[in-house]
Amino acid sequence: MALVTGGGKNIGREAALTFARGGATVVVAGPGRADLEETVRLIEAVGGRGSAVVADVTRAADAAAMVAAAVERHGGLHIAFNNAGIFGTPAPVAEQDEDVWSSVLAVNTTGVWLSMKYEIAHMRAHGGGAIVNSASNIGFHTRRPGLGAYAASKAAVSVLTRTAAREYIGEGVRINAVSPGGTDTPMSFRPGETVGERDARVRAVVPAGRVAETREIAAAVAWLASDEAAFVVGHDLVVDGGASA
């Protein structure tokens, strides 16, 4: 059984579908019921089983209830992809709005921590499991100005992942992260940018010459969560076409 936060669209939806195609029952969680229910419909369309939980991962009660619902409905929790995240409004560090800073850190970092807190508790008591957290290649470099809040939040996820991985691998809970680069989602566009303008900008800075497809990020997540990656612990897998090489 796999749990995907931020499972209502984009990378989260694609990861949920990838898990479903691999035979997992999938619970998708997030704030938007309509998006989550559409993901469940798509899971069922590929022959899988899924359900939705409306949850705000910045709230401990919601994170706990999300994990409890997954376990109660489907009998356990074996895989978790903590993917919920927001970009925020870009601004230089000294000009960043305090509310934007707080909301970005709350969703991207505290949300991952709270999700792990309750996922790990269940997995420790039931024979282990695999967790993948969503970080970002922006946590490794600062080539784009104005992303201090987002970069800080994702760098924190990477460090938190390594810390938790060492703490819980001895109890069978294997924790890693994935760090996508620019991916074909709304986050890859700058304000007012067309697809052609985005693609031209990306070609100039990404050695692979394009953004990632969501399926490519989902495939990396699925591998990290699989038994084939059983000896991969505390790793942050960068999938960015060479942008941070």
Question: Active-site positions?
Answer: 136, 150, 154
d(CA 26, CA 52) in angstroms, rounded, equals 9
Which helix (DSSP H) or strand (DSSP E) does residue 14 occupy? helix 10-21
Q: Which has the closest alpha carbon to 57: 49, 48, 66?
A: 66
Distance (Å, whole) CA 101 – CA 90: 10
Give the chain's largest Cα–Cα span.
50
How far is residue 188's CA from residue 198's CA, in Å, rounded to a whole number?
8
d(CA 82, CA 221): 10
- The answer to whether 52 touches 26, Cβ cutoff 8 Å, is no
